[in-house]
Amino acid sequence: MCTAHEETIALLNTHAGVKASITQVGSEKFYALFTEFINAFEDSGYNTEYLKGTGTATGPAPRVNSAFWAFMRCVKDEVRVVERGAPGEASV
């Protein structure tokens, strides 16, 4: 896997940050969309060109593009703040 792709690293860090947090909890949808991105990225052969194009109809890796944006958009609605909890409390 390419370790210099900033957008992919940002997505991975977002997921890891929520999973490890004691003040944030991701919903089932948050974790499902992350899994969809990982599966699509693996199936594409780790194609880092997935952000080229405009989504599902164009670009070199449209499934990865769609999964990336679905995950990144879900963060604001699918991650909630909690007062107390253990790291990964809501992980699936």
pLDDT given at position 56: 53
**Helix boundaries (H) for 21-61:** 28-43
- Each residue's pLDDT tens digit, 55-87: 555 667 889 999 999 999 999 999 999 986 555
Q: Burial level of 55, CB count in 10 A (0-12/13-18/19+)?
A: exposed
d(CA 25, CA 44): 29
Cα–Cα distance, 71 to 64 (Å, whole number)? 11
Which pTM value belongs to this model?
A: 0.80
